[in-house]
Amino acid sequence: MQQETPDPRDGIAFVGGRYMPLSEASVPILDRGFVRSDATYDVAHVWQGRIFRLDDHIERFFASMRGLRMSLPYDKAALTEILVECVRRSGLRDAYLQMTCTRGIPPRGTRDPRLCENRLYVFVQPFVWIANAEQQRQGLTMVVSSVARIPPDSVDPRIKNFHWLDLTMGIFEAYDRDALVAVLKGPDGTVTEGAGFNLFVVRDGRLATPESGVFEGMTRRTVLDFAGDLGLEIEVRPVLAEELAGADEVFITSTAGGIMPVTVVDGRILSNGRPGPVTGRVRDLYWARHDEGWRMTPIDYRD
């Protein structure tokens, strides 16, 4: 029976030096990235045919590799070309674009990570949202999880990694408590982040976001970049769990959705159960900057 030709809009990958349909891409079972979570990655998003903050994502990816003592035979220009080509071949205008470096496979008879040849995996697939359009209109329900975040002294969260078991257990707890997302607390009892998102609290028109125990997300960075344009003050500081209960507004930020309002925290309704005005202003400017082409890399889809 003749096999159906893969649709490039389902995704394109770059593995082992060649491009292929995402459905054909694989990771060797002995790669330490698979068996030891020994990897780092970064995720950019493609919006209306342009990649948002591509240079910043690549810069952060290389910084993460340095932090884990990894390296690749590609410089930033070469990696940019691979990422852009994956998007171009897919034809996707709105997409999730991931670059991953794994430790690789150790030589037989040793587990010395210094002897591994680090490997690059790149793929693009249709855009992935934390919350759908209706959930974003209504606002998300959140819980403060009983699961503690991995201490930053153990795994530096500023290096994007696959250590997600604590975050995944938080997701399960959120679902068990009829919520969509969960934010985890750190060892000192302050809140940190959730699965794939950063947190902002709004009180009396002033924003606060946790300063430690978090991955410093690109959407979080974007809010910090343009808050002054909205006349908003932002504090990067420890945020107590109790502050969420007393907040005027809460929102989360993520490449997988942008600025997303939270209207219920641990069963308490915020902003009369509707997305708040400050969150709306931040969200509107975030997407307006996309439309303006701010820090966007356009894709030439010809050929």
Burial class of residue 22, CB neighbours in 10 A (0-12, 13-18, 19+): middle
In a domain, 3, yes or no: no
Give the other-Cβ count within 10 Å of 72's Cβ.
16
Residue 292, H or E segment: helix 277-292
Low-confidence ranges of the chain (pLDDT < 70): 1-3
pLDDT at res. 1: 57
Residue tagged 């674009």 (tokens)? 97
Enumerate the β-bridge partners of residue 260: 252
Last residue in a domain, options 94, 126, 158: 126
Q: What is the pLDDT of residue 244?
A: 95
**In a domain? residue 299:** no
pLDDT for position 2: 62
* CATH code of the domain containing 99: 3.30.470.10
172 in the same domain as 203: yes
Domain membership flag for residue 286 = yes
Q: In a 3-state reduction of DSSP, which class is residue 289?
A: helix
Q: Which two tokens stand for residue 107?
A: 């030589």
Tell me what pLDDT residue 243 has. Answer: 95
Query: Residue 4: its pLDDT value, please?
Result: 80
Q: Residue 234: how many CA atoms within 13 Å on its side-chain side?
A: 20
Question: What confidence score (pLDDT) does residue 158 get?
Answer: 95
Q: Which residues pair with 20 in a beta bridge?
A: 13
Statement to judge: residues 114 and 216 lie in one domain: no
Query: Cα(262)–Cα(201) distance, rounded to whole angstroms?
Result: 10
Q: Which H or E run contains 175?
A: helix 165-176
Bridge partners of residue 95, in order along the sequence: 46, 126
Query: Residue 27's pLDDT is what?
Result: 97
